[in-house]
Amino acid sequence: MQVIFESRNPDAAPLRDLAVARLQFVMRRLSWLVPRARLQLSDVNGPRGGVDKRCQIEFKTGVGTVLVISSVSRDWRSAIDSALSRASRALVRQWRRSQDKGQAAAAQRPAGQPQPKPTPRQRARSARVEPFLAVHS
The answer to whether residue 109 is domain-embedded is no
The answer to whether residue 100 is domain-embedded is no
CA–CA distance, 88 with 85 (Å, rounded to integer):
5
The answer to whether residue 112 is domain-embedded is no
Q: Domain count of the chain? A: 1
What's the chain's average pLDDT? 81
User: In the chain, which stretches have pLDDT less than 70?
Assistant: 102-113, 126-137
pLDDT of residue 126: 67
Note whether 26 and 55 are within 8 A (CB). no
The answer to whether residue 54 is domain-embedded is yes
Find the domain containing 63 and state its range: 2-95+119-136
Residue 123 belongs to a domain with what CATH number? 3.30.160.100
- The pTM of this model reads 0.68
The answer to whether residue 111 is domain-embedded is no
The answer to whether residue 72 is domain-embedded is yes
The answer to whether residue 103 is domain-embedded is no
The answer to whether residue 101 is domain-embedded is no
